[in-house]
Amino acid sequence: MSVVQSSATDVQSLAHRIATELRTHPEHWTQGEFARDAQGGKVDYRSPAAVCWCLHGFIRRELAVPIGGSTASEILSAFEQAAIGKPYIRDVSGLGFVAWQDEQGRTVADIIAVCDLVAASL
């Protein structure tokens, strides 16, 4: 299921799906790349070879549309707010929650907690 227009329910559903997948398969999370293959190599988040994704990679995969535009910005903003307490702003270099999720010591439990917060907060 992909999110094609933004609503609180869509964002909550997206966050819930990511959290559920990571609870069941924590090995599906990675850092430093949008997605990796079984050997740990960088692959496109849409690649059939992808076996794990960073939080932003999960969002991109689930949106099934390019990141950009108001729908994606609204969805990214919900995750940005949950992760670092600031809304996502387009055209600013770097995404705060991407840097946050890539910090050394970050765990899959932290990612699940952000997804749970997004799922419950809208």
What is the residue-wise DSSP string for the chain?
----S--HHHHHHHHHHHHHHHHH-GGGB-SSSSEE-TTS-B--TT-TT--EE-HHHHHHHHH-S-S-HHHHHHHHHHHHHHHHSS---TTSSS-HHHHHHHSTT--HHHHHHHHHHHHHH-
Which residues on neighbouring strands pair with residue 35, listed in sequence order? 53
In a domain, 2, yes or no: no
pLDDT tens digit sequence for 47-64: 999 999 999 899 888 886
Residues 6+ apart with CB under 8 A from 43: 35, 36, 37, 49, 50
Domain count, the chain: 1
Distance CA(40)–CA(63), nearest Å, equals 23
State the residue for tokens 């919900």.
78
Residue 26 belongs to what domain range?
8-121
Q: Which carries the bigger pLDDT value, residue 25 or residue 82?
A: 25
Q: Does 1 fall in a domain?
A: no
Considering 1-10, 11-20, 72-81, 97-106, the range whose residues carry the highest mean pLDDT is 11-20
The reply to whether 110 falls in a domain is yes
89 in any annotated domain: yes
Predicted confidence at residue 5, as pLDDT, reads 43
